[in-house]
Amino acid sequence: MYYHGAVIKEGKVDPNNKVIALSFDDGPWRKNTDSILKILKRNNVKATFFMLGDSLANFPQQGKLIADEGHAIGNHTWHHFYHRMDEQTAGKEIETTADLIYKTTNIKTTLFRPPGGIMTNCVADYAKKHNYTIVMWSADSIDYSHPSVPVIVNRVMREAKPGGIVLMHDGGGNNRSQTIAALPQIISKLKAQGYSFVTIPKLLQMQVATK
Ligand SMILES: [Zn+2]
């Protein structure tokens, strides 16, 4: 149902269907995730969080809160390795993270995002083989490089489109202040353009429904 084993970077929806999916990687993280969850809640927006096992082990309460507030969760490996792995290591990266996500949130995710979007170091192959949907993105905020808030906002707005998937980060470092400042502006500008926000599982369902 969720395009098992496929690689997607956006949902193929009707161009008049202004839906978009916000996604947050590398968390959960203590203060950053809390701030992002507050903004999402205030705006009644559901998003998708691609978690690292290592981050979730550090911040299980934030991970549980993400699930409790109705957001979707994806697997982003344990260590965020970029280097080439053998199948056993790749499997461990994914399975230990899947186990911890399930133990912490009661969610069995079928979504996988490879660290750095790297498709050739064995983790994506392992995930495909095990029927995950490989979720890339169509709009990269490049927030990890700490640009100014208007740069993040403008980049996302320029790349926004129906069925789009926006990449941002709640984890991967203590300073996500630009992301947190940009997020309410991104949400309100997209809403002003008529967009509504969906989780990635929901986007994939809509994609099936349009076939
Ligand atoms: Zn990442």
Residue 2: which pLDDT band, with cuts at 50, 70 and 90? Answer: low
Q: Residue 1 domain-assigned? A: no
| Cβ-contact 118, 77 below 8 angstroms | no
In the chain, the number of structural domains is: 1
Give the pLDDT confidence score for residue 70 in this predicted structure.
Answer: 98
Distance 53 CA to ligand 1 centre (A): 11
Tell me whether residue 76 is in a domain: yes
Report pLDDT for 95: 98
Overall average pLDDT of the 36-42 stretch: 98
Could you give the CA distance from residue 47 to residue 44 in angstroms, rounded to a whole number? 10
- Which residues are CB-neighbours of 58 under 8 A, at least 6 positions away? none
Going from the Cα of 148 to the center of ligand 1, the distance in angstroms, rounded, reads 20
Q: Is residue 71, in this structure, part of any structural domain at all? A: yes
2 located within any domain: no
pLDDT digits (tens, 9 = 90+) for 152-205: 999 999 999 999 999 999 999 889 999 999 999 999 999 999 999 999 999 999
Ligand 1 center to 177 CA (angstroms): 17
**Ligand 1 centre distance from Cα of residue 18 (Å):** 26
**Cut 0.85: pTM above it:** yes
Within-domain flag for 26: yes
In a domain, 147, yes or no: yes
Query: pLDDT tens, 174-189?
Result: 899 999 999 999 999 9
Supply the CATH number for residue 17's domain. 3.20.20.370
Between CA 8 and CA 58 the distance in angstroms is 29
CB-based contact 18:46 (threshold 8 Å): no
Ligand 1 midpoint to CA 106 (Å): 22
pLDDT at 4: 77
Q: Which residues are catalytic?
A: 25, 169
Ligand 1 is an ion; its neighbours by CB within 5 Å are 25-26, 115
**Helix/strand/coil for 134:** strand
